[in-house]
């Protein structure tokens, strides 16, 4: 009996010490804007400061201003775009060259439906400004000739990347727009950061339509990521239940758009026509371990439609879910395993 009490006392002491040593897991919640979108963080940490949330915000602002923004003169993309037409090309960082190479690979596999050189066409539509309310008044779609001219300045096949020497040659009039992958790249950077922070035990961070899940919830329950109903965007049509680390990206015709004369002009452009893609799809969600890939594939799959998009996702081992304009759903097998139809509106 004595031995039993001694053992129980010893175990009790160990547990108390563990609890003191590791501290209590606490939740940090934060909403902010960066990269032209809303950032929502939920971090589970044993630290008693909110430093991690601030550092993640700072990291995203740096990604935008130092690398990806086409608007800010401080960014690498801005510097590259300013070099279009220069015979000597422009120097690019190793990480940017690697990123661009991945974009070009996806363009090749997506039969050119995905194209980060669409800058001239995307600028002409300027749908981000209309959707955000920055531009107001009567929306008039660009005229056919202006679109033709802008399209003629695009095409991934026309740029030359010399990765070995870190140089990129953009033809005159071309400009890069990394809007299709920026949020996914952000998730990859956040993941790298989280992996270095021992005090963070779990997290979900959403950057616009892309969500990162990481680690565990304190109660061990799976992460819950909602799939928005494109026909009623205040509701989810389903929930993904995910264990551990994942990246979930969604592209939808309801995310950024303007309506004129009963037509919805959204922000995902078909490089063949120069017009907003009309593949019958209203929303696509891609699930992978890699943020860049989930974001790139969700955009590409939206343009390709469910049949061709499903094949593309399969090539990359990604899970995918298509919501057609009539509300019907098609999904890959792995997606079905984590999807539950649901009317809940709350995620994470
Ligand atoms: P996402 O919301 O991730 O689907 O990305 C849409 C954004 O990608 C747009 O706002 C544009 O900046 C850019 N984009 C539009 N069409 C394409 C396309 N066909 N290929 C690559 N990027 C595109
Ligand atoms: Mg995307």
Closest ligand to residue 304's CA: 1
Residues with CB under 6 Å of ligand 1 are 114-116, 118, 122, 177, 179-180, 209, 251, 255, 267-269, 271, 295, 298-299, 303
Three-state SS sequence of the chain: CHHHHHHHHHHHHHHHHHHHHHCCCEEEEEEEEECCEEEEEEEEECCCCCHHHHHHHHHHHHHHHHHHCCCCCCCHHHHHHHCCCCCCCEECCHHHHHHHHHHHHHHHHCCCCCCCCEHHHHHHHCHHHHHHCCCCCCCCCCCHHHHHHHHHCCCHHHCEEECCCCEEECCCCCECCCCCCHHHHHHHHHHHHHHCCCCEEEEEEEECCEEEEEECCCCCCCEEEEEEECCEEEEEEEEEEECCCEEEEEEECCCCEEEECCEEEECCECCCCCCECCCCEEEEEEEECCHHHHHHHHHHHHHHHHHHHHHHHHHCCCEEEEEECCCCEEECHHHHHHEEECCCCCCC
295 Cα nearest atom in ligand 1: 3
pLDDT for 22 equals: 52
Measured from the Cα of 183, ligand 1's closest atom is 3
Pocket test for ligand 1, best of 77, 118, 312 (most atoms within 8 A of CB): 118
- Probe target for ligand 1 pocket from 36, 77, 269, with the most ligand atoms within 8 Å of CB: 269
pLDDT digits (tens), the chain, 348 positions? 444 334 443 333 333 333 334 579 999 999 999 998 999 999 999 999 999 999 999 999 999 999 999 999 999 999 999 999 999 999 999 999 999 999 999 999 999 899 999 999 999 999 999 999 999 999 999 999 999 999 999 999 999 999 899 999 999 999 999 999 999 999 999 999 999 999 999 999 999 989 999 999 999 999 999 999 999 999 999 999 999 999 999 999 999 999 999 999 999 999 999 999 999 999 999 999 999 999 999 999 999 999 999 999 999 999 999 999 999 999 999 999 999 998 654 555
Looking at residue 343, its pLDDT comes to 60
pLDDT of res. 112 = 81
Closest atom of ligand 1 relative to the 184 alpha carbon: 3
């Amino acid at each position: 009996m004595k031995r039993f009490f001694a053992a129980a006392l010893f175990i009790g002491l160990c547990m108390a010490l563990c609890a003191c040593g590791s501290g209590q897991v606490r939740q940090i919640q934060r909403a902010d804007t960066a990269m032209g979108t809303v950032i929502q963080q939920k971090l589970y940490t044993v630290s008693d400061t909110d430093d991690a949330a601030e550092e993640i915000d700072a990291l995203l602002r740096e990604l935008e201003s130092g690398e990806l923004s086409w608007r800010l003169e401080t960014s690498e993309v801005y510097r590259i775009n300013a070099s279009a037409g220069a015979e000597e090309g422009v120097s690019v960082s190793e990480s940017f060259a690697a990123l661009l190479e991945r974009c070009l690979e996806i363009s090749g596999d997506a039969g050119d439906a995905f194209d980060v050189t669409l800058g001239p066409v995307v600028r002409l539509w300027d749908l981000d400004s209309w959707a955000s309310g920055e531009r107001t008044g009567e929306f008039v779609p660009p005229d056919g000739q202006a679109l033709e001219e802008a399209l003629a300045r695009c095409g991934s096949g026309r740029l030359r990347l010399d990765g070995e020497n870190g140089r990129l040659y953009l033809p005159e009039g071309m400009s890069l727009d990394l809007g299709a992958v920026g949020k996914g790249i952000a998730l990859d950077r956040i993941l790298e950061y989280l992996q270095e922070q021992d005090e963070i035990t779990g997290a979900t961070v959403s950057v616009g339509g892309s969500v990162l899940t990481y680690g565990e919830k304190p109660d061990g329950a799976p992460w819950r990521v909602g799939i928005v109903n494109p026909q009623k965007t205040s509701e989810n049509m389903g929930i993904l239940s995910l264990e551990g680390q994942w990246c979930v990206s969604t592209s939808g015709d309801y995310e950024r758009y303007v309506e004129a004369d009963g037509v919805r002009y959204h922000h995902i452009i078909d490089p063949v026509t120069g017009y907003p893609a009309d593949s019958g799809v209203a929303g696509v969600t891609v699930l992978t371990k890699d943020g860049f890939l989930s974001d790139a594939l969700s955009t590409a799959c939206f343009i390709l439609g469910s049949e061709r998009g499903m094949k593309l996702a399969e090539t990359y081992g990604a899970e995918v879910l298509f919501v057609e304009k009539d509300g019907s759903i098609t999904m890959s097998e792995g997606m079905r395993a984590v999807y539950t139809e649901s009317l809940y509106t709350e995620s994470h």
